[in-house]
A and B are shown apart, each in its own frame.
Chain A
Amino acid sequence: MSTRELTRLTLAEARRRLRAREFSARELVEAHLEAMARHRGLNAFITETPELALTMAAESDRRLAAGDARPLEGIPIAVKDLFCTREVRTTAASRILHNFVPPYESTVTRRLWEAGAVLLGKTNLDEFAMGSANVTSHFGPVVNPWTPPGEEPGRVPGGSSGGSAAAVAALLAPAATGTDTGGSIRQPAAFCGIVGLKPTYGRCSRWGIIAFASSLDQAGPMARTVEDCALLLEQMAGYDPLDSTSADVAVEPWSARLDAGVKGLRIGLPREYRVDGMPAEIERLWAEGAAWLRAQGAEVVEISLPHTAYALPTYYIVAPAEASSNLARYDGMRFGLRVEGRDLTETYMRTRGEGFGREVRRRILIGTYALSAGYYDAYYLKAQKVRRRIADDFREAFTRVDAILTPAAPTAAFRIGEKMDDPVAMYLNDVFTVPASLAGLPAVAVPTGLDGEGLPLALQVIGRPWDETTVLRVARALEEAADFRALPPRIAEELA
């Protein structure tokens, strides 16, 4: 088996064959490190950690040899550079944290290392996870590996977990962690033709993840199959007393429950998601997904989520408001960038003015405004009320259906540079993902086809709180029906 072929393995396959000692963890890790080196042009990683990876792989090989393998023993993974990793630089793709090395490990990554996973590196993202195209990173944009050959400067991978999505799609890692605030796992998964799951809010600990919007941020797995996402989630999830919003809910063996099928399930199609100007291809894809589920024995019904249209404006009040406060700690006083000024105020202004990029500054301004005296009631309080209505819509819907099927994104991956001067057009990318974020619901994006340009398109399955089981079951059914095996052309070429 060539080293490039090793990178083609799913997490589940790699796990099985590592245990069968068909190859070593070191070989598997080296194959991915080589692929990473070859595809630096994608700019998927901010920091590569080859030495650490080989040290971790050596420990895995020792355990594999001793028959003492942990659940993810020897599985290389990429970690979004928003998770603090002890003694490994963690930047949030921001200049203000360009030199920050945390003395602590996030709960989610600690769990992964304790399960035997191996860190390949820290992936690129939109600065502080604010963006839908991975174009706001201080370390430069990520290129979508699906970019049609010859096209410059290429397609966006989506965002904010664009580096993770590109890495998994380009076979630089079998799986990666992401975080999702308004769609930051699902939308890049959709743009890159991989599976991305945002779990129920409170499922994974936020401790040690650099905060964007605390009431929305949630970590989740990104991988090439539904099963791999389930396997990864099993190790990422779990109650953490260090995060007051983490829930004491049992971690389930999701990967063992994927094949229960959808027979007898009721699937809702929200009529409000049929937005104006939606490409016919996506409309067709959605109808096709519904037909697949019906064919497998599910009952598909139209439902209504009446407050859907208010989700995006609500999100763009709540998230920036929280962010404006969460990002106040980057003041140049204790860590990260510090640009001296003549006095304290000027030092603050220069540090934050030069340390944060445009989009981050824009959101801090919006959020500060929304929380200001005299505007608080009209914006923040109102947004909180609408947020409750949106959650109520879903609660009502879930009395009649078991899961909801929608498109994952309104378009396929667009060109780098597009929508840059129109924030609202950029924000519209998240129109299908934001409502489930506001309601804290589990939702997964599954690739189900390619558009006319050969770019991946995806569907989204939304479930009841804590019902990742059903979400993953439905996703698995779609995966099977779609039989999506396509690889980005440039990657397929390498394997040929």
Chain B
Amino acid sequence: MSWVIEGETGKWELVCGLEIHAQVISRAKLFSGASTEFGAEPNTRVSPVDAGMPGMLPVLNMFCVEQAVRTGLGLRAQINLFSVFERKNYFYPDLPNGYQISQYKHPIVGRGSVTIELADGSTKEIGITRLHLEMDAGKSIHDRLPDATLIDLNRSGVALMEIVTEPDIRAPDEAVAFMRKLRSILRYLGTCDGNMEEGSLRCDANVSVRPLGSTELGTRTEIKNVNSMRFIAKAIEYEARRQVEILESGGTVEQETRLFDERRGVTRSMRTKEEAHDYRYFPDPDLLPLELDPAFVERIRRSLPELPDAKKARFVEQYGLTPYDAAVLVAEREVADWFEAAARGRDAKKVANWIITELFGALNRSGLEIGRCPIRPEQLGRLLDLVEEGRLSGRLAKEVFALMFESGKDPEVIVEERGLVQVTDAAALEPIVARVVADNPKQVATYRKNPKVIGWFVGQVMRATKGKANPQLVQELLRKHLEEA
């Protein structure tokens, strides 16, 4: 099902590509030995190189190169054994050198692709155009003093990967799905923490529209810094509709850079094409071209973890999960590992259900990540074992689960402490069943006309036993007593 904008004059199609800046996980910066620690006191993680002091020279951090190659391999992309760092020249107070060292004509990673999962369960390929390494700028702080801008250079020189997609995105939701998938891959690879709030994953969107069926590309605008999953779809949809309105009223779309205003949910012009910088790119004479040994790339390839797509396929194959459940479980590597630990030797589908409904619910309510989940996978497994063995009803199991999540205790301990073991002894249940039947003659009469009313009797017995009775056994006993009454 394709997403279209119903205009006055007809249907319009969205054409969108993304430019993502992902901060590389690395202890040191791209061209200096300074620390990359987040949240340090302003200007305390700055070497003379990062501050653009006279005579200072950049030295490439090979670990960042390794991270870029690892990411390229994770994006099923071509690794360029020859790449070049260039200078992108512009003046800004938070750019100490007056240029950013980036890659331009020769990026370290070429074409690749990412598979995204759509809401209807289908998948789609989004092409990757390139990935290149570059250094981040510092941070300008405009709101601390009334008449001055403050500069924090802690971020200056931190390694970024700029990842550019092909204009393959046709719906706002596809952009979100792509970002989720990319984030998942980066986190699996350990090359970016994917934290959009802290700015370690940032997204710009190139948006244009065209009449549905057309193969020409319209004029695009670039929306800067769409910095949460929530706003990506909103910003793209707003911008696409804005462009359709302009085109339908006979206007033309300006090629420009726009900023998404999160508060008002609109995009507004930041700079036009005429105001665009001439960055005067040229190869950085302080750095030699980067030439990689094929063995270096091969070594990284061999060290790659199982990535989400492969894991998803394996979960479907090995555990019999639905593709949807598998996709949900593999999105985060920690969740997938948690699932596999809990599912070992058990009914994996049931384990998956419990994780997706109960565990995710509890984590969401308490605002916890899986890494800080109070329940260990083995504990959930043993809870399910108790149900399997008939010692706990499903209802009781949920109760026990809630207590486990609160206390971190083993399910057996909770069952013991609270005396929650299911009553499966017919002799113990008989008097209760008999009393419930005897006390409710009107309902017994109703039962004669409508046997479904047995459910009401089950409820009464369960209440009387505080839920500990085995529901199947209760049904059996009730049927016997009701027939006899």
- Report how far A92 CA is from B278 CA in the complex, Å: 28
Q: Which residues of B contact A208 (CB under 8 A)?
A: 55-56
A235 at the interface (CB under 8 A from B): no
B51 at the interface (CB under 8 A from A): yes
- What 0/1 readout, one digit per residue, does chain A (70-92) give for beta carbons within 8 Å of chain B? 00000000000001100000101
Beta-carbon contact of B60 and A329 below 8 Å: no
- Report how far A327 CA is from B52 CA in the complex, Å: 10
Q: Which residues of B contact A102 (CB under 8 A)?
A: 53-55
A244 at the interface (CB under 8 A from B): yes
B63-89: which have CB < 8 Å to A? 87, 89
Minimum CB distance partner of A240 in chain B: B57
Beta-carbon contact of B282 and A371 below 8 Å: yes
Minimum CB distance partner of A105 in chain B: B55
Beta-carbon contact of B55 and A244 below 8 Å: no
A330-384: which have CB < 8 Å to B? 331, 333-335, 344, 348, 368, 371-373, 376, 380
Which listed residue (A244, A344, A373, A376) contacts B287, Cβ 8 A? A244
Beta-carbon contact of B282 and A321 below 8 Å: yes
Which listed residue (B52, B91, B96, B151) contacts A348, Cβ 8 A? B91
Contact of A325 with B52 at beta-carbon distance under 8 Å, contacts A242-B57, A243-B57 already known: no
- Report how far A321 CA is from B96 CA in the complex, Å: 19
A452 at the interface (CB under 8 A from B): no
Q: Which residues of A contact B282 (CB under 8 A)?
A: 321-322, 325, 371, 376, 380
- Report how far A368 CA is from B58 CA in the complex, Å: 22
Which listed residue (A206, A211, A328, A331) contacts B89, Cβ 8 A? A328
B128-161: which have CB < 8 Å to A? 151
Minimum CB distance partner of A374 in chain B: B278
Q: Interface of chain B, helix or strand or loop or mixed? A: loop
Chain A: interface residue count, which band?
35 or more
Which listed residue (A333, A334, A371) contacts B280, Cβ 8 A? A371
- Report how far A165 CA is from B205 CA in the complex, Å: 58
Output the least CB separation between A23 and chain B (Å). Answer: 35
Which listed residue (B58, B98, B285, B288) contacts A329, Cβ 8 A? B98
B401 at the interface (CB under 8 A from A): no
Q: Which residues of A contact B278 (CB under 8 A)?
A: 372-373
- Report how far A325 CA is from B95 CA in the complex, Å: 13
- Report how far A331 CA is from B282 CA in the complex, Å: 21
Contact of A92 with B285 at beta-carbon distance under 8 Å, contacts A325-B89, A325-B99, A329-B97 already known: no
Minimum CB distance partner of A100 in chain B: B54
Q: Which residues of A contact B87 (CB under 8 A)?
A: 325
Beta-carbon contact of A90 and B54 below 8 Å: yes
B59 at the interface (CB under 8 A from A): yes
B455 at the interface (CB under 8 A from A): no
Beta-carbon contact of B280 and A207 below 8 Å: no
Beta-carbon contact of B288 and A244 below 8 Å: yes
9 closest residue pairs by CB, A with B: A328-B98, A214-B285, A371-B280, A215-B285, A329-B52, A208-B55, A210-B54, A84-B55, A373-B278
B residues contacting A by CB (< 8 A) are 48, 51-60, 87, 89, 91, 93, 96-99, 151, 278, 280-282, 285-288
A residues contacting B by CB (< 8 A) are 83-84, 90, 92, 97, 100, 102-104, 106, 206-211, 213-215, 241-245, 321-322, 324-325, 327-329, 331, 333-335, 344, 348, 368, 371-373, 376, 380
